[in-house]
Structure 1
């Protein structure tokens, strides 16, 4: 990774797992890193540890709850009032939670993993466009390939499965990133939208499941998953490699895309479906009440 001095990065979910590794490496290479996290106290602990490890590192905390639109608006206003944002890394995520519906009327996985990031990205758009080379990195999962989006039942009011809901939310991440890239093609000041996935990585998400499924996830994670340091490489590559085209998808180069070093890969056909992209975009605007403006060419 080249030196990142003079560039400002916003990383959601930066207190553990892939987000922590991403923030650490960006700070170690001279980037100014804003830790966009739900637990501000934990964020300050991480920021302090990074400053100790890398004297002179610019690391600050911005509190945000991706399930709360008011919190997202406050965080975006605070960040946007400072200066430009060069790279937004939409990394935070939840998995394997019991069925619940948020104030937006959406199931919790979809609300946290996609809708929160959709709103944050839209609200940070002006700050991103002030950068000479703005970029949005959205972190998905290889599980998006198994996901199905029912935009007429975002609350999952019928049959619910935590794995299916998580996979659907990761498909939403992928569809959003590709659709953003598609829309930015006609922009006079384009934001480069990149998609990344970590393969099979042993992160705190592996400990979230309950019952037999949870036990299996934890055991398999310890035995077969790669480290968070390896898992973060695709999103670090996506955030810092200068010549990536909008719509690129970065994942591990190992067998089945489960482990290894970052290379360009292909998202699922559903992720690239322009009609699904249009419908998800419109539904996301409807649910959040937040729109997106793309400058004319």
Structure 2
């Protein structure tokens, strides 16, 4: 059965399931964690700041007093932090779904703790490393699933293999689009490898369309001031933007390799449905090359 017009109301009961949601203290991650906890899931909230995570958990419990939540310290811009978080999560009795949501968008050129250009480092390499480190754990879960969050920006993305860390040139939008294309190349290659290995894990992706979240914090102030009053006309709220995430993470009859996004106005807004990525996101050779580079840079090799 194909998913159409999916909203938070379509999330089935999640009692007994365990989710690890990255970037869970705000935006799409927070909204997803809130819905999943409200449906009975245990939600591990991966956040950089314990203070922000504590506030987010308190807010969820105000609405869902019985919510089963746990803070996991996680900085996707730091491989040491990623390894520590993975070890902590691996001690949980089970893990059914890894929801890779956290990311950054259009900062000035910065580097992660490990010297990677920040957007590629956080959005792709951090996600790649965390997923690889938790793959064995997820494989033991019930109906296990890995979700990777991309963006419509992947459509204009190009992987600059000759300047992977933007040492020669840097464009805020160009590197964001590159990282979001990398997310989809990762998902489709992971899907191929999981299938070839006969793994029970499925890999899927999602994008929120245009959602009103903190990701836009690096937009110019004049742009924000001009468009914020009109945002409801062409932007999802954070809660609405989480619908494709929830479809990917908790929708029934989801198949490995599917990609979910909003259903209206050119995938900008609306309830979730399956959408199609650009063909370049499904190309095998660039995906293999990116995979090899990602393993080399992160030191994480998948057991497939």
Q: TM-score higher than 0.5 here? A: yes
Shift of 1:55: 2.0
Distance 2:273 2:29 in 1: 19
User: What CA deviation, in whole Å up to 9, does each residue of 1:73-130 have, x standing for no partner?
Assistant: 1110011012221011100111111112334442110001111111111111121011
Inter-partner Cα distance in structure 2 for 1:102 and 1:24: 29
Aligned mate of 2:158, from 117, 138, 148 = 148
Shift of 1:230: 1.0
Q: Which moved more, 1:208-217 or 1:76-85?
A: 208-217
CA distance in 1, matches of 2:303, 2:209: 33
Question: What is the distance in 1 between the residues matched to 2:194 and 2:24?
Answer: 27
- Which one of the candidate residues 13, 18, 38 is aligned to 1:28? 38
- Describe the superposition over 1:111-169 as per-residue Cα deviations: whole angstroms up to 9, x where unpaired: 01111111111111121011131101111110111111112311112231101111111
Unaligned runs of 5+ in 1: none
Kept after mapping to 2: 8 A contact 1:208/1:214: no
Task: Tell me how far 1:208 sits from its aligned partner.
Answer: 2.0
Q: Is the 8 A contact 1:11 1:36 kept in 2?
A: yes
Which sections of structure 2, spanning at least 5 residues, go unmatched? 1-10
Residue equivalent to 1:175: 185
1:263-282 map, 5 Å: 263-282=273-292
Q: How many residues align?
A: 294
2:205 counterpart residue number: 195
Cα distance per residue 1:165-189 (max 9 Å; x no partner): 1111111111111111111111233
Under a length normalisation based on structure 2, what TM-score does the superposition of the two structures give? 0.92
- Residues 200 and 226 in structure 1, CA contact (< 8 A), matched pair in contact too: yes
Q: Write the distance in 1 (CA, Å) between the matches of 2:165 and 2:223.
A: 23
RMSD: 1.6
CA gap of 1:109–1:63, structure 2 versus 1, over 3 A, is same
Deviates more, 1:183-192 or 1:280-289: 183-192
Say which is worse superposed, 19-28 or 237-246, in terms of deviation.
237-246
Where 1:277 maps in the other structure, the secondary structure is: helix
- CA distance in 2 between counterparts of 1:126 and 1:83 reads 13
For 1:3, the equivalent position in structure 2 comes to 13
Q: Secondary structure at the match of 2:269?
A: coil
Give the Å deviation of 1:216: 5.6
Q: Match of 1:82, SS?
A: coil
Counterparts of 1:192-231 in structure 2 under 5 Å? Answer: 192-210=202-220, 212=222, 221=231, 224-231=234-241
CA 1:196–1:230 in 2, change beyond 3 Å: closer, same or farther?
same
SS in 2 for 1:256: coil
| C-alpha displacement of 1:54 | 1.0
